[in-house]
Amino acid sequence: MTRPSLLIARRIFPAVAERLAVHFDVETNDADTLWSREELIQRLRGKQGVFVTTGEPIDAALVAACPELKAVCSMAVGYNNIDVAACHARGITVTNAPDVLTETTADFGFALMMAAARRIPESEHFLRSGAWTKWAPDFFVGADVHGATLGILGMGRIGQAIARRGHLGFGMNVLYHNRSRLAPEAEAPIGARWVDKATLLAEVDHLVIVVPYGPASHHLIAAADLAQMKPTATLTNIARGGVVDDAALAMALRSGQLGAAALDVFEGEPAVHPALLGVSNVVLTPHIASASLPTRLAMAQLAADNLIALLNGGEAKTPVPAPKPAAST
Ligand code: GLV
């Protein structure tokens, strides 16, 4: 009996690739080349499964060109690179990797928020540059995190994990805005209160963005939104580039309209808006919020679990449901 064939679109952990090779005829990408869409299609033709990450474009034209495809399994939780409706229309199951990264990603979001509020990278750069000559009372003064008002935009699993850290660990007042409200039993233990978006923007000291990206959340935070925030506030984006208008953010940071920011994701990444690179009060990291070794391994193993189940006629552990009409905000 011929084995199903699988394309692993990026270089992944050897233990996971070896596990998949037990079950499938596997084509790997050991050079870790970022294939063009055309090359991806070419390599995927005739294969039943594909292992993807955050960026490979699985769009309608690709699935139409690959009629044998049965399973698109991503090791990421976000799946804005996959046209889920087009996959479903052709009977292709899409899976993502929720849950396994929640706590690690929340740790990182919190760390970024603290780094921006307390100006850690900015002051480190100053020290490394050799410019430190004396201590001073107003030296790199920033904003407090403990006891401040934390705002969460998007309140899924990761948003709730950040709220829990803020409420229980740092005595923060937690506000959130999301398309759907949490049940009171879910709000109470993390001290979270739903508010409309305008109230959230006006009242928070530290805003953390964790909404999924889609047409409804494109530039959800634009110049007019930034103008509603306190000039001492921080903004942290660990969701997806494109949720925040990076050019408007750079302008708000530069003009003092906003205190500081921290970004792990960028519109058009790995390119970063040049205006951001020239601003000192923004912390910039290369899309690594889930990047602890145990978590990245667990994410990859979950994608492998899904492929092994689906291509052997079983059920996926974490299928992505059919899309709803609008993204959660
Ligand atoms: C990373 O951004 C992910 O969606 O898992």
Q: Judge whether 269 counts as a catalytic residue.
A: yes
- Residue 76 alpha carbon, nearest atom of ligand 1: 5
Residue 94 — φ and ψ, nearest 5°? Answer: -110, 135
Task: State pLDDT tens for residues 38-80.
Answer: 999 999 999 999 999 999 999 999 999 999 999 999 999 999 9
Task: State pLDDT tens for residues 92-136.
Answer: 999 999 999 999 999 999 999 999 999 999 999 999 999 999 999
Class of the CATH-defined domain 5-100+293-310: alpha beta
The Å distance, Cα 141 to ligand 1 centre, comes to 33
Please report the pLDDT score of residue 325 as a whole number: 59
Q: What is the pairing mode between strands 192-194 and 93-95?
A: unpaired
Best of 108, 290, 297 for a ligand 1 pocket test (most atoms within 8 Å of beta carbon): 290
Quote the tokens at residue 322. 């059919």
In the chain, the percentage of residues whose pLDDT exceeds 70 is 98
Task: Summarize the confidence of residues 142-164 as an average pLDDT.
Answer: 98
Task: Summarize the confidence of residues 161-176 as an average pLDDT.
Answer: 98
**Quick check: helix, strand or coil at residue 260?**
strand
Task: State pLDDT tens for residues 182-240.
Answer: 999 999 999 999 999 999 999 999 999 999 999 999 999 999 999 999 999 999 999 99
Give the residue whose CA is nearest to atom 4 of ligand 1. Answer: 78
CB under 6 Å to ligand 1: residues?
54, 76-78, 101, 290
Best of 12, 53, 77 for a ligand 1 pocket test (most atoms within 8 Å of beta carbon): 77
* 102-284: in CATH 2.40.50.140: no
Please report the pLDDT score of residue 304 as a whole number: 99
- Residue 97 alpha carbon, nearest atom of ligand 1: 5
From the candidates 240, 267, 273, 296, give the one annotated as an active-site residue.
Answer: 240
Helix (H) or strand (E) holding 323: none
What's the pTM? 0.95
**DSSP letter string, 127-162:** HHTT------TTTT-----TTSEEEEES-SHHHHHH
Q: Judge whether 157 counts as a catalytic residue.
A: no
Please report the pLDDT score of residue 42 as a whole number: 98
Would the CATH topology of 5-100+293-310 be identical to that of 102-284?
A: yes
Quote the tokens at residue 99. 């849950």
Q: Judge whether 287 counts as a catalytic residue.
A: yes
From the candidates 56, 269, 273, 296, give the one annotated as an active-site residue.
Answer: 269
Task: Summarize the confidence of residues 14-21 as an average pLDDT.
Answer: 98
Please report the pLDDT score of residue 326 as a whole number: 52
The Å distance, Cα 1 to ligand 1 centre, comes to 36
**Quick check: helix, strand or coil at residue 318?**
coil
- Residue 75 alpha carbon, nearest atom of ligand 1: 5
Each domain of the chain, given as residue ranges in start order, spans 5-100+293-310, 102-284
Residue 253 near residue 279, CB atoms below 8 Å: yes
Give the residue whose CA is nearest to atom 5 of ligand 1. Answer: 76
Please report the pLDDT score of residue 329 as a whole number: 40
Quote the tokens at residue 174. 């937690």
